[in-house]
Amino acid sequence: MQLTKQKILLGITGGIAAYKTPDLVRKLTALGAQVRCVMSASATEFVSPLALQAVSGNPVGDDLLDRNAEAAMGHIELAKWADKVLIAPTTANFMAKLTHGLADDLLSTLCLATSAPIYIAPAMNQQMWHAPATQSNLSLLIQRGVKVLGPAPGEQACGDVGLGRMLEPVDIANMLAQSPIDPILANRHIVITAGPTREEIDPVRFISNHSSGKMGYALAQAALALGANVTLISGPVNLSPPIGVKVINVVSAEQMHQAVMKVVPDCEIFIGCAAVADYKPQQKTQQKIKKSDSELTLTFTRNPDILSDVAHLAQPPFTVGFAAETQDVAHYAQDKLKRKKLDMIAANDVSQAGLGFNSEQNALNVYWNNGGKNLGVADKSQLALTLMTLVAQRYAQKTT
Ligand code: PMT
């Protein structure tokens, strides 16, 4: 993943996430990009133009009517200079300006005057993100080809929790390096399962597991960034799916199996990241089980193995499984690879605190027939991009 010699015009608008932009400039330049920064007036309240000038090595623009700047590199020239325009963070206000074609400051004028692809990394309060006006602006921008990176869920500066955090600089830089220059999964349909399943015991109880869906949703986001058409079959989670992904919501393993088998004949790559319950109660009682003095024994029966059924189809897609293990990780993962007839398996040691289930980070070891790769520890979004790139490479090797 490189941005060698690419000219990136980084627009910075006025949100708290602007304080991360000197780091973003460093991440972009580390990938080989040349960066010039343009700030909105309010962005200068959050981060100093001098800091951005120091890290980018270029003068920073913040005024459309600056005679000195215009004499050096005029705004139209700057708009033509850019190979890519990245606006990070993008406020709700700037999204509205971009949607409606306003040109009342240097950055909005550059966006109208450029023919380069525009990327936005939205960052705002979660309520502002979900507001009908913002969502309608977002749809229009996507229709016009603007690439949307994020936002991420999580705790916000105002104390709210939800969607609206700017993606981390490293993820933005990697996504920019991947797409659209190298849409290695363009015209490929990828089906991904994510999250837990719930197996009902009675009308009020179920068994499930700690999967949050973060790993699977990050894979969907990464596949999208690499140009794929993505179908995400998701168990019950508290995440908003990436925009542009087709989502099928399910609850039980049986429902996930049905949904997968319906769409999988139409895909080239299948990735089973969901933590599917191996067993379900033999009988779901129609009424709530009442407490009594005696012990309660439940009998469980096997659920279908979705991954194995996909890999054993007469014409299977390139099939990638996950292995969540607490001991002998490599041994069990390689055994699953062979037994389930998979093309690849990504193994995670879920006994380690802070990794695996319901965490922001993970560590993956990937295996295939006669090979493997340690992808190390990283944020799930970054790991997902690395894993998806590896999947694309191995898929290409298998099919050419
Ligand atoms: O969702 P997060 O909180 O982000 O956590 C991510 C994760 C830990 C859930 C993820 O990285 C992961 O390991 N997913 C697979 C979990 C799992 O069920 O592992 P397993 O070793 O039990 O299953 C092996 C494979 O068979 C998996 O690809 C699984 O999707 C699949 N399977 C399992 C049982 C079943 N009945 N059908 C299946 O398809």
- Non-local CB neighbours of 312 within 8 Å, separated by 6+ positions: 341
Task: Please check whether residues 236 and 385 belong to one and the same domain.
Answer: yes
The domain that holds 350 is classified in CATH as 3.40.50.10300
Compute the mean pLDDT over every residue in the chain, rounded to the nearest whole number: 93
Q: Which atom of ligand 1 is nearest to the CA of 307?
A: 39
Average pLDDT over residues 70-90: 89
Distance of CA 238 from the midpoint of ligand 1 (Å): 18
**Are residue 215 and residue 156 in the same domain, yes or no?**
no
Asked if the structure places residue 2 within a domain, the reply is: no
The residue among 178, 210, 232 that closes a domain is 178
Is the pLDDT at 54 greater than 80? The verdict is yes
CATH number at residue 62: 3.40.50.1950
| Same domain membership, residue 134 and residue 235 | no
pLDDT attached to residue 180: 52
Same domain, 158 and 248: no
Rg (Cα) of the chain, in Å, rounded?
24
128 & 37 share domain = yes
Atom of ligand 1 nearest to the CA of 362: 11
Q: Where a domain ends, among 144, 178, 212?
A: 178
pLDDT of residue 361: 85
Mean pLDDT of 291-311: 96
**pLDDT tens digit sequence for 302-311:** 999 999 999 9
Is residue 139 included in any domain, yes or no?
yes
Q: How confident is the model at residue 75 (pLDDT cuts 50, 70, 90)?
A: confident
Q: How far is CA 270 from CA 152, 214, 247, 278, in A?
A: 25, 17, 15, 19
- Same-domain check for residues 135 and 271: no
Q: Which residue is catalytic, options 37, 111, 158, 273?
A: 158
Residue 109 in domain: yes
Cα torsion 44, 128, 243, 346 to 10°: value is 80
Whether 199 maps to a domain, the answer reads yes
- Are 42 and 13 within 8 A, CB to CB? yes
Nearest Cα residue to 221 out of 12, 379, 28: 379
Report the nearest atom of ligand 1 relative to the CA of 194.
1
Which residues constitute the domain of residue 346? 189-399
**Ligand 1 centre distance from Cα of residue 179 (Å):** 28
pLDDT in tens, 227-247: 899 999 999 999 988 888 999
Q: pLDDT tens, 137-193?
A: 988 888 788 888 888 888 888 888 888 999 999 999 988 887 554 788 988 999 999
Query: In this structure, is residue 290 part of a structural domain?
Result: yes
Ligand 1 center from residue 13 Cα (angstroms)? 40
273 in a structural domain: yes
131, 156, 178 - which closes a domain: 178
> Which pLDDT score, from 0 to 100, does residue 299 have?
96
pLDDT value, residue 1 = 61
* pLDDT score for 179: 55
250 and 166 in a single domain? The answer is: no
For the segment 329-345, the average pLDDT, to the nearest whole number, is: 97
Known catalytic residue at 37: no
In a domain, 394, yes or no: yes
pLDDT band of residue 132 (cuts 50, 70, 90) is very high
- Please give the number of the atom of ligand 1 that sits closest to the Cα of 237: 1
Query: For the chain, what is the domain count?
Result: 2
Q: 195 alpha carbon to ligand 1 midpoint, in Å? A: 8
**For ligand 1, mutation pick of 192, 214, 234, 276 (most atoms within 8 Å of CB):** 276
What's the 194 CA to ligand 1 centre distance in angstroms?
8
Please tell me the distance between residue 166's alpha carbon and the centre of ligand 1 in angstroms. Answer: 28
Pocket of ligand 1 (CB under 6 A): 193, 195, 211-216, 253, 272-276, 278, 303, 305-307, 321-324, 336, 348, 350, 356-358, 362
- State whether 225 and 365 are in the same domain: yes
Residue 360 has pLDDT above 90, yes or no: no
pLDDT band at 381 (very low <50, low <70, confident <90, very high): confident
- 23 has a pLDDT exceeding 60: yes
Indicate whether 79 pLDDT > 80. Answer: yes
From the CA of 322, give the closest atom in ligand 1. 28
272, 164: one domain: no
3-state secondary structure the chain: CCCCCCEEEEEECCCHHHHHHHHHHHHHHHCCCEEEEEECCHHHHCCCHHHHHHHHCCCCECCCCCHHHHHHCCHHHHHHHCCEEEEEEECHHHHHHHHHCCCCCHHHHHHHHCCCCEEEEECCCHHHHHCHHHHHHHHHHHHCCCEECCCEEEECCCCCEEEEECCCHHHHHHHHHHCCCCCCCCCCEEEEEECECCEEEECCEEECCCCCCHHHHHHHHHHHHCCCEEEEEECCCCCCCCCCCEEEECCCHHHHHHHHHHHHHHCCEEEECCECCCEEECCCCCCCCCCCCCCCCCCEEECCCHHHHHHCCCCCCEEEEEEEECCCHHHHHHHHHHHCCCCEEEEEECCCCCECCCCCEEEEEEEECCEEEEEEEEEHHHHHHHHHHHHHHHHHHHHC
Mean pLDDT of 255-265: 98
Does one domain contain both 143 and 277? no
Q: How would residue 64 be classed by pLDDT, with cut points 50, 70 and 90?
A: confident
Is 371 among the domain residues?
yes
* Same-domain check for residues 16 and 130: yes
Question: Which of 193, 279, 322, 351 for mutating ligand 1's site (highest number of atoms within 8 Å of CB)?
Answer: 322
95 and 38, same structural domain? yes
